[in-house]
């Protein structure tokens, strides 16, 4: 019998998993005077597709999922996976709407969740016709507050390519602390590139 076979997995130490899989309420909205965030629904497929197509020129530079042939099927396939990812605690993705008139403005989420250390990544994109109005900054603050309160995170990271000036400014405006440069951390325009690591911790946005 190998050593592995002798191990009784029932007696192995378990971590007290801090984020309770499946228990994070999906029936929520996060709002301020500018934006309204709610978990994505399959019925968002058209809005997502149209906004992504409209914004492809900008998105293709920074977002690995965006490409010239981005299709409605890709929107639908991605949306179909959201409830399961949420339930399993893998990623929490939200659609961004204009608080004033309900139009779809982009997407954001908390992902790359490290349950043992209670840390995660926060990401965002805003459709081109709504950029430059403080949307991403408002989203970052709302989402970070939710992450600290509901997911009980200790740390939220915002990782931005060193040459993504607009996103760097978003992280700065949201009050995230600039911690250093991570070499070859991201892929931009199909090439590895350095990124600035930013972090938020609970007391900073609550
Ligand atoms: C980056 C992005 C999310 C910004 O969204 P947004 O809603 O326009 O962001 P905000 O309006 O909250 O803030 C943008 C800030 O960048 C500034 N900015 C715009 N162009 C800039 C430039 N070339 N250099 C420096 N700052 C710039 C704006 O003036 C604004 O700052 P201000 O309020 O001090 O004037 C959006 O452009 C986007 O989706 N880009 C493509 C995807 C992406 O890069 N996602 C982030 C990956 S880390």
CA of 159 to the centre of ligand 1 (A): 14
Query: pLDDT by residue (tens digit) across 150-186?
Result: 999 999 999 999 999 999 999 999 999 999 999 999 9
Query: pLDDT by residue (tens digit) across 68-97?
Result: 999 999 999 999 999 999 999 999 999 999
> Fold for domain 16-153?
Aminopeptidase (3.40.630)
Q: Put the strands of the sheet holding 92-98 in their side by side order.
A: 30-31, 35-39, 92-98, 104-114, 119-126, 155-161, 191-200, 177-188
Nearest CA to ligand 1 atom 25: 165
Atom of ligand 1 nearest to the CA of 135: 7
Domain ranges across the chain? 16-153
Q: pTM of this prediction?
A: 0.92
């Amino acid at each position: 019998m190998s050593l592995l076979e002798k191990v009784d997995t029932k007696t192995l130490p378990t971590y007290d998993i801090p984020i309770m899989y499946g228990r994070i309420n999906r029936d929520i909205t996060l709002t301020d005077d500018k934006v309204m965030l709610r978990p994505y629904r399959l019925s968002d497929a058209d809005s997502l597709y149209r906004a992504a197509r409209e914004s492809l020129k900008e998105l293709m530079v920074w977002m690995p999922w965006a490409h010239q042939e981005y299709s409605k099927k890709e929107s639908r396939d991605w949306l179909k996976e959201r409830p399961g990812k949420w339930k399993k605690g893998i990623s929490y993705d939200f659609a961004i709407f204009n608080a004033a008139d309900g139009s779809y403005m982009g997407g954001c989420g908390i992902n790359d969740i490290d349950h043992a250390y209670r840390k995660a990544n926060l990401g965002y994109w805003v459709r081109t016709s709504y950029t430059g109005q403080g949307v991403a900054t408002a989203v970052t603050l709302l989402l970070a507050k939710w992450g600290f309160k509901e997911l009980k995170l200790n740390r939220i990271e915002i990782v931005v390519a060193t040459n993504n000036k607009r996103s760097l400014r978003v992280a700065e405006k949201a009050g995230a602390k600039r911690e250093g440069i991570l070499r070859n951390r991201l892929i931009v325009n199909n090439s590895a590139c350095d990124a600035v690591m930013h972090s938020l911790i609970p007391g900073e946005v609550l």
